[in-house]
Structure 1
């Protein structure tokens, strides 16, 4: 197996390769406004660092969010295009699940809450029993409006750091954004166990900021 993992659900634009046993390479950058510019170069760097050709990839795993509309669709559209071009399966993995898994790899034991920045003074959040077991979510809300039991737990992620007063404890030493290496490891673990992965469909949770203008001015031909 040679699994290519991508995620653009947070400001981190990240790609990684996994051979079924370990992560071979990871590349990316952090820029909330340049997902489309950064993703394919990150894929290329990961392939070069791993010494593998794109044609050898046997599956793609992509973060399904939740995340902002514009950034999230970059990863999903790229994964779909690669899957079609290479004739390989594309699997979805919840981005909050991947962030929780990464926190577990960094030593965090459950239960805990994951929160990423959803803008509009809100967070995307989920509550976990441990790094592999989601109990609640994903959902979107103001941090102060999360259930009391979720706010009382240790919290990780950029959303928790942004609204730290809403949480009992925020772990700044743990990953703030999704890592494709963690996403790849989680996907590879599930595939090896025969567990089903998600469909590669976006979890937007709310409508995009952009709206169709109302009240078009009528134009008549001269």
Structure 2
């Protein structure tokens, strides 16, 4: 196999992330084996990519992959934590995938405090994106796009862009439901919301009681169902 024919295989969640990135220079945090940076370059979606990896062993594997693809001049790999190895205004966008929402939000918050967070952020988390949506509202980022990707469970993929004022994505929606389940997903009535809501209902309904956190979570599920016009029986089928 030649360098020109070598194309790393991305799973559906990373293919979705790939399609949401376009920049002159992009950074992929926690790049693992550099599959996403290689495909970003191969598809022409970015001109230059920086892959950041916390651990030395996967970074070395990433170097081999980049060399195998013949992209060493376009992909730079750096060892470090989150956005720390980057310079302010060095990239126009950043991606982070395969981690919990709270972990990702923490990395983004630290990067913003250091002046290294770019104006566009593409993330895929392995749990509820609530922490990311709250971070975005507090950090001055608006929700530009979001979707769910079928997999071991429905994987949330979100795009945030730096903007001023109140995020219009949440206008005229029940606030708790929109924050927990996604304003654009609610407006769309995304089909994968059904298993997400069914799982949330199953976890919180048995423990719900006035004053309990489970009751607040259950109320958000009910808000979402009312907005969508779905019943508990429909989502649990």
Q: TM-score normalized by structure 1?
A: 0.30
Kindly indicate which of the two structures has a greater share of residues assigned to helix.
Answer: 2
Structure ranking higher in strand proportion: 1
Whichever of the two has the greater Rg, that structure is 2
Higher RCO, Cα 8 Å, sep 6+: 1
Return the TM-score normalized by structure 2.
0.29
